[in-house]
Structure 1
Amino acid sequence: MNEWSEDYEEGLEAFLIWMKDAGYTPYTQKSYLVDVKQFLESLNGKKLESVKKLHVISFLTSVRERGVSDATRNRKHASINCFFKALIELELLLTNPAAGIKKSKTEINREPVYLDEGDLGRFLSSIDGKYKGRNLAVFLLMSYMGLRVGEVHTLNLSDYNVERHSLRVFGKGRKWRNVPIPEDVVPFLDLAIEERLNPWRSKEEAMFISQKGRRLSIRGIQQIAADTFDRFQKDVPAAQRRPYSSHKLRHSFATMLLRKGADLRTVQELLGHSSIQTTTVYTHITSREKEEAMSKLQVQI
């Protein structure tokens, strides 16, 4: 541990214990700890009980000035807020200086990034390599069932109900949900399970196994997606390439459902959102749809 963080060792250890007890995934634990350590480093040894809201805002401002995205800035704020919330619950602190700080709102003005059905088909056709069957199943679960990267990572063989063609998914907030598997996806999932790599531990229950014989990691899924998106856009000039990522597959799923007439509440349930407000981010209106709507108007003079 770095010298600057020795005074914060108790708080960091308590925070990690709190996250484990609350059921946070190892990936989230790691991300939150990295964010919090960056913040603590900016305090220059100031005691936690002396930290004020100004110090948190100052850190977030410096993060923004370094050019990070609004989403990253908001995540760092969430990490710090969670850190102080944990220490209050564990009776190590009395106040949360990160509470009440507004999220960045500028990101809602950006053009939403997702793939329409045609692009999605071409993306799936770009999947290649020795583990094509496994990777295709992974991305079908994300693009045609709306699973998060972390949810695919945590899937076990026992979560697949073969008779009902459904998956039991462990999502955010430690909540389970059952998601029906589209008939067109079933054969690809069955094939991926049939071709499942041998895990190095005989009792490994993970549905998707890496080439090293371990549960396919979140970072591994993200890297496979990045490589596939690179092939998908290889003929597109660099300046015109879109910032696709694995999460955009889930985004594409929600957009497709809504465009096919699914109601917002159903999409909320399928995505595992606790609040329907979160689901409304997917209700984009494209230029084509606006033009079609306006074409229906007739001026009568």
Structure 2
Amino acid sequence: MRGGCLPRDYELEELYGEQIRAFKIWMMQRGFTDSTHNEYLREVLAYLKSLKGLEVTEASKVNVIGFLVSKEKVKDQTRNRTLSAIRTFYVALIDFEMATRNPALEVKKSKTEKNKNPVYLEEEDLVDSLQYIEGRYRNRNIAIFLLMGYCGLRVGEVHRLDLKDFKKTKGTIVVFGKGRKWNEIPVPELLVQYLIEVERERITPYSKKEEAFFVSQKGKRLSIRQIQKLVSQTFKAFKENNPKVTDMNLSCHKLRHSFATMLLKNGVDIRVVKELLGHASIETTMIYTHINDDQKKQAMSTVNIPISIVS
């Protein structure tokens, strides 16, 4: 249950109850999803337990590293996620003037994970994958796919999209993203036409107050799980007919990766890509500036070794 504590953490409530409550309020205020809220809370409670009564404000870099080391043989991604939760916890406390420093910022993230290239589809593969979108509500499903693959929306942002967020005359959508931030994004003309058609075909919701743009056959807002299932089924069929992507772990978020990579490859300024993706920091956008094998080969093809030096 959201906002709940782990079983038998009465002592933690007694020792750190005020900080825990502040962290919960801060995450809700910032619009964290339920899954992130619960995951971060779970990690922070485990971290607080490791302090064994030490004041949160007295904890140091050593305490944070000690806790990370105590999590036996975890993957780099898991370690970084735990560190991110602890960093966020201290950010919340500083925001509420319950702490003055963030010892977790002094701990570096794993370089292995930090330097790992995101999985993405090349533009031609992204186009091919659209052919495998099926179902009774195909126009709706294509529009959802295009919003993630050609506008870079997160699955939660697609889920939260309301009728009022589609500005037909301007050809834009208004997205409510992470950190409770609004972002107006220009939409490609073909997608505008799909969105107009989806709105025309939209099932009348059972509730008159329901303003969801994407509605299920049961007359309710299409859930995140339903959107993920749609994308998963599409990629499954796509993989079965395309051997070169068989081993790729494709998902909703990989469509977002593909969008970012496509823009940067087309020479779009990284600052513009940052704004379109709704990133708080350009460092987050930097992960998409990876170089692929074809680019490496193209670069090396320009290198000419004079025959005279080897003859």
What TM-score range do you get, normalising by the shorter chain? 0.7 to 0.9
Opposite residue 22 of structure 2, the aligned amino acid is A
Partner of 2:110: 104
Partner of 1:174: 180
Offset at residue 253 of structure 1 (A)? 0.9
Opposite residue 61 of structure 1, the aligned amino acid is V
Give the TM-score taking structure 2 as reference length.
0.81
- Call closer, same or farther: CA 1:175–1:113 in 2, change over 3 Å: same
* Alpha-carbon contact 1:27-1:218 (below 8 Å) kept: no
Where do residues 267-278 of structure 1 align in structure 2 (5 Å cutoff)? Answer: 267-278=273-284
**SS class of match (1:177):** strand
Partner of 2:164: 158
Partner of 1:7: 11
- Call closer, same or farther: CA 1:95–1:286 in 2, change over 3 Å: closer
Deviations along 1:79-124, one digit per CA (max 9) or x if unpaired, are: 1222233245445566655342111111244344110122112222
Range 24-33 or range 14-23, more displaced: 24-33
Partner of 1:78: 84
Offset at residue 271 of structure 1 (A)? 1.7
Offset at residue 250 of structure 1 (A)? 1.1
Q: CA RMSD in A?
A: 3.0
Offset at residue 166 of structure 1 (A)? 0.6
Deviations along 1:2-35, one digit per CA (max 9) or x if unpaired, are: 4432233434333211222234344432332233
Q: Give, in whole Å, the separation in 1 of the partners of 2:98 and 2:210.
A: 38
Partner of 1:115: 121
* Alpha-carbon contact 1:146-1:254 (below 8 Å) kept: yes
**SS class of match (2:189):** coil
Where do residues 132-281 of structure 1 align in structure 2 (5 Å cutoff)? Answer: 132-235=138-241, 241-281=247-287
Q: Give, in whole Å, the separation in 1 of the partners of 2:69 and 2:226.
A: 32
**SS class of match (1:81):** helix
* Alpha-carbon contact 1:126-1:228 (below 8 Å) kept: yes
Q: Give, in whole Å, the separation in 1 of the partners of 2:117 and 2:205.
A: 42
* Alpha-carbon contact 2:261-2:289 (below 8 Å) kept: yes
Regions of 4+ moved over 6 Å: 236-239
Offset at residue 64 of structure 1 (A)? 6.2
Range 176-185 or range 262-271, more displaced: 262-271
Residue 286 (str. 1) matches residue 269 (str. 2): no
- Call closer, same or farther: CA 1:73–1:237 in 2, change over 3 Å: farther
- Call closer, same or farther: CA 1:214–1:254 in 2, change over 3 Å: same
Residue 31 (str. 1) matches residue 39 (str. 2): yes
Q: Give, in whole Å, the separation in 2 of the partners of 1:34 and 1:199.
A: 36
* Alpha-carbon contact 1:222-1:246 (below 8 Å) kept: yes
Task: State the identity %.
Answer: 48
- Call closer, same or farther: CA 1:153–1:299 in 2, change over 3 Å: same
Bigger radius of gyration among the two: 2
Q: Give, in whole Å, the separation in 1 of the partners of 2:287 and 2:108.
A: 18
* Alpha-carbon contact 1:166-1:180 (below 8 Å) kept: yes
Partner of 2:66: 58
- Call closer, same or farther: CA 1:3–1:274 in 2, change over 3 Å: closer
Unaligned runs of at least 5 residues, structure 1: none
Deviations along 1:219-275, one digit per CA (max 9) or x if unpaired, are: 443333233222221356799511222111111112112222322232222222233
Unaligned runs of at least 5 residues, structure 2: none
Partner of 2:134: 128
Residue 22 (str. 1) matches residue 61 (str. 2): no
Give the TM-score taking structure 1 as reference length.
0.84
